[in-house]
């Protein structure tokens, strides 16, 4: 267990009404089996539960597979692939449960952890997140880059995002309502969970191997997510350049004085084109880099001001209201 954020008050309700939010993108191969197993497990936990699957624009028969399943299952089909963060946001928007559990559709998140979530919720925690014991299911490069990302994030951002905690978590209804109030288009859910606060606790779990196909996140998608995380939760990359600029200017002044003294006192002829070339190219690089970072923020501001919805729903199944 890691870092509780506040002293919790135990809850009187023993068996809460559970909504399970399941983002699914091209999971037709195993989603039927997954939903059967999940419903069976949830039935042992509470009399009242529902599973809300968000088909994130799958190109296979994910939606059809879900609709063919019996049980308290609702389905939201998005109009295209909007990404996991948007799919989760869509799920949270529609989730009615007293507690909401977010879980992947690929069997990587073991069901018994949900029991532990509920126990901690009953103890009074509003958010219980699962922390991976190890990341053996990820490749070495992904593990190292992910560690680097969390290191950078913890230094640059004022909110603390627990390392190795993902979307597999339980949220109290209160937390769900808080998350619904966040209107941003650049959604980095791991940051938003931390940003809203509430009494939170992490519990360790061992992640399973993916049951079918392979991860839907390639290097570029992960890089984009990491940039969204950094730019959404830190202004340091923007501010850094004040420091870098000041330092370079100071060095330039000292160097100018040095050249002046050398020329006036020692009468050295003008030389040093190599120094000039190095200085010009170095400064060119620094300027392009800083403009690039500015551009990154600008692009995200542009995205925000367009105020486009984060996702569009193409079809609903199992909903009483249209």
Work out the burial of residue 70: count CB atoms within 10 Å of its CB; fewer than 13 is exposed, 13-18 middle, 19 or more buried. Answer: exposed
Residues β-bridged to residue 219: none
Q: Which is nearer to Mg ion, 195 or 217 (CB)?
A: 217
CA atoms within 13 A on the CB side of 99: 30
Q: Does 212 bind ligand UDP (CB under 6 A)?
A: no
* Contact residue for ligand UDP among 75, 105, 113, 170 (CB under 6 A): 105
Q: Does 130 bind ligand UDP (CB under 6 A)?
A: no
Q: Does 85 bind ligand UDP (CB under 6 A)?
A: no
Residues β-bridged to residue 202: 2, 129
List binders of ligand UDP among 9-28 (CB under 6 A).
Answer: 23-25, 27
Q: Does 146 bind ligand UDP (CB under 6 A)?
A: no
Distance from the Cα of residue 194 to its chain's centroid = 10
- The CB-of-49 to ligand UDP minimum distance in angstroms stands at 19
Q: Which is nearer to Mg ion, 137 or 186 (CB)?
A: 137
217 makes contact, choosing from Mg ion, ligand UDP, none, with CB < 5 to 8 Å by partner type, with ligand UDP
269: helix, coil or strand? coil
Whether residue 15 contacts residue 49, with contact meaning beta carbons closer than 8 Å, is answered with no
- The CB-of-107 to ligand UDP minimum distance in angstroms stands at 10
Q: How far apart are CA 204 and CA 202, in angstroms?
A: 7
- The CB-of-104 to ligand UDP minimum distance in angstroms stands at 4
Tokens read off for 8: 């919790």
23 makes contact, choosing from Mg ion, ligand UDP, none, with CB < 5 to 8 Å by partner type, with ligand UDP
- The CB-of-8 to ligand UDP minimum distance in angstroms stands at 29
294: helix, coil or strand? helix
Q: Which is nearer to ligand UDP, 21 or 99 (CB)?
A: 21
- Interacting stretch for Mg ion, rule CB under 5 A, among 103-111, 113-121, 178-186, 301-309? 103-111
Q: Which is nearer to Mg ion, 50 or 104 (CB)?
A: 104
Helices (H), 44-172: 62-67, 84-94, 112-122, 140-156
Q: How far apart are CA 170 and CA 167, in angstroms?
A: 9
Whether residue 37 contacts residue 68, with contact meaning beta carbons closer than 8 Å, is answered with no
Q: Does 108 bind Mg ion (CB under 5 A)?
A: yes
Distances (CA, A) of 135 to 139, 150, 166, 205: 8, 14, 12, 11
Which residues of the shown chain bind ligand UDP in the complex (CB under 6 A)? Answer: 23-25, 27, 56, 81, 83-84, 87, 104-106, 108, 210, 215-217
Which residues of the shown chain bind Mg ion in the complex (CB under 5 A)? Answer: 104, 106, 108
């Amino acid at each position: 267990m890691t870092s509780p954020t506040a002293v919790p008050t135990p809850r009187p309700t023993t068996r809460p009404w559970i909504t399970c939010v399941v983002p699914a993108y091209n999971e037709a191969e195993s989603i039927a089996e997954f939903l059967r197993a999940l419903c069976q497990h949830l039935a042992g936990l509470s009399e009242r539960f529902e599973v809300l699957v968000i088909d994130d624009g799958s190109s296979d028969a994910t939606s059809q597979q879900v609709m063919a399943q019996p049980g308290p299952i609702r389905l939201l089909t998005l109009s295209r692939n909007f990404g996991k963060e948007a799919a989760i946001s869509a799920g949270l928007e529609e989730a009615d449960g007293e507690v909401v559990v977010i879980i992947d559709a690929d069997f990587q998140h073991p069901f018994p952890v949900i029991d532990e979530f509920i126990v901690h919720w009953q103890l009074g925690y509003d958010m219980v997140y699962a922390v991976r014991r190890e990341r053996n299911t990820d490749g070495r490069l992904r593990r190292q880059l992910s560690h680097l990302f969390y290191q950078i994030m913890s230094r640059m951002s004022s909110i603390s995002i627990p390392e190795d905690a993902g979307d597999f978590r339980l949220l109290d209804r209160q937390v769900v309502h808080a998350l619904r109030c966040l209107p941003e288009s650049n959604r980095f859910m791991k940051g938003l969970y931390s940003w809203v606060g509430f009494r939170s606790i992490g519990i360790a779990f061992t992640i399973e191997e993916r049951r079918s196909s392979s991860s839907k996140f390639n290097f570029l998608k992960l890089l984009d997510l990491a940039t969204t995380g950094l730019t959404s939760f830190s202004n340091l990359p923007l501010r850094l350049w004040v420091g870098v600029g000041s330092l370079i200017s100071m060095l330039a002044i000292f160097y100018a004085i040095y050249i002046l003294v050398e020329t006036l006192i020692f009468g050295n002829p003008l030389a040093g084109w190599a120094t000039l070339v190095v200085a010009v190219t170095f400064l060119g690089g620094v300027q392009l880099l800083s403009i690039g970072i500015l551009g990154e923020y600008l692009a995200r501001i542009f995205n925000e001001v367009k105020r486009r919805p984060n996702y569009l729903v193409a079809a609903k199944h199992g909903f009483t209201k249209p």
